[in-house]
Amino acid sequence: MEKRIMSLEMVEICVTSRCNLECSHCYQHHDKNHHELAYEKLIEIVSFASSRNCQEYVLSGGEFFLHERAYDLLDYIFENTTCDDIKVVTNLSMADTDRISAYPRERIEFLVSVYGSPEAHDKRRGQGHYEKVAGKINELSQLGFRVSAICALDEENFTSLNEVLENPIFNEITILPVAPVGAAGMKDIPIKDSSEYADVLKCVYHNCHVYHDSEARCSLFPNGFSVKYNGDIFPCNLARDYGLGCIGNVSHKHIDDVISAFTNSDESNMYFEYKANSQVDECNNCPENKVCNRGCRIRALKFNNKLLSSDPFVCKIFTTQHEDIPFGTLYWGEAIVNELAAH
């Protein structure tokens, strides 16, 4: 019997690999300024998602606002969909607040990457960037828009987390327990994990109510998907970052055909089985399984070659497993860590 996707929780679209910054932690630096989705293809993707009543759009890059049709894309979503949960992931430095001021406040939110204190942030993103972005955040806040922070933690910046949490300019803060291993310039971050860093990661998970209160941990395919700026489609954004489990490419094929072909292939069966029964046998007896919500399926697939298996990253946080392997290696994989460390 033919399988079809009738509804979508979330679709993420990385519209361009263009970026105006030289962030030391960036894991996409090899692709920088090389790829961009055509506006017509972006409309095709949004139309596909809208026809399946997509509940959330996440738009990112590179830097989203460097796509020459970024504002046209937002206009199209506002005018042609009923979705009221549109998130723009941006460094905000290139955003035109005058143009944005016309958008409906209740339907859009801006997610801005912040890396701890102003000093820690500028060390990653360039001198004076924090002050510039803080000014844009204040402008948008005064206009009535929701602006939230995304803060990725590592051994270098976790001690300044309180400065982000106590900053009143953010409506909400998403803390990512991610050990970044990006471009050259990150060699000064210790590879060995400190006990303090592990304690902070544990605290983050204990306070992540999104995981606690939901049956499934995320909008993994077939509940959602992520489109990369080169046209590749992945089961989720982390699978995209890993380059794992590509569903197909929409550059020269219509998205309906790409999704339909994958949905009715044997490769899609494990995702549909997880949707029908989200239990992970290895996690059932762990006292922390409600805290991490059985971990990330894509990390489990990457390291164990099995979707319904334990996630080594969260197992290291809550158990004695993998004590001799750094968080960065468990998150990204040894090959990626070694490649980047060699630069």
Residues 74-124 have pLDDT tens digits of 999 999 999 999 999 999 989 999 999 999 999 999 999 888 888 888 888
The pLDDT assigned to 318 comes to 87
Q: Beta strand 232-234 with 248-249: parallel, antiparallel or unpaired?
A: antiparallel
Whether residue 67 contacts residue 61, with contact meaning beta carbons closer than 8 Å, is answered with: yes
| H, E, C per residue of 250-300 | CCCCCHHHHHHHHHCCHHHHHHHHHHHCCCCHHHCCCCCCCCCCCCCHHHH
Structure tokens that stand for 66 in this block: 């460097």
Q: What three-state secondary structure class fits 195?
A: helix
Q: What is the DSSP letter of 308?
A: S
State whether the Cα torsion 119-120-123-129 is positive or negative: negative
Conformational region of residue 233, where left means phi above 0, alpha means psi within -120 to 50, and beta covers everything else: beta
- Residue 280 CA to chain centroid, in angstroms? 23
C-alpha span between 241 and 326 (Å, rounded): 19
C-alpha span between 25 and 32 (Å, rounded): 13
C-alpha span between 50 and 116 (Å, rounded): 36
Whether residue 129 contacts residue 122, with contact meaning beta carbons closer than 8 Å, is answered with: yes
Q: What three-state secondary structure class fits 311?
A: coil
C-alpha span between 164 and 173 (Å, rounded): 8
DSSP string, 43-94: HHHHHHHHHTT---EEEESSSGGGSTTHHHHHHHHHHH-----EEEEE--TT
Q: How does pLDDT run across 32-74, given as a tens digit for each residue?
A: 778 999 999 999 999 999 999 999 999 999 999 999 999 999 9
Q: What three-state secondary structure class fits 160?
A: helix
Q: What is the pTM of this model?
A: 0.90
Q: What is the DSSP letter of 145?
A: -
Low-confidence ranges of the chain (pLDDT < 70): 1-2, 27, 29, 178-192, 208-217, 276-277, 334-343
Structure tokens that stand for 253 in this block: 């094929």
Whether residue 152 contacts residue 178, with contact meaning beta carbons closer than 8 Å, is answered with: yes
Whether residue 335 contacts residue 341, with contact meaning beta carbons closer than 8 Å, is answered with: no
Whether residue 191 contacts residue 326, with contact meaning beta carbons closer than 8 Å, is answered with: yes
Percent of the chain with pLDDT over 70: 87
Length of the chain: 343
Among 232, 242, 231, which Cα is nearest to 297's? 242
The pLDDT assigned to 280 comes to 83
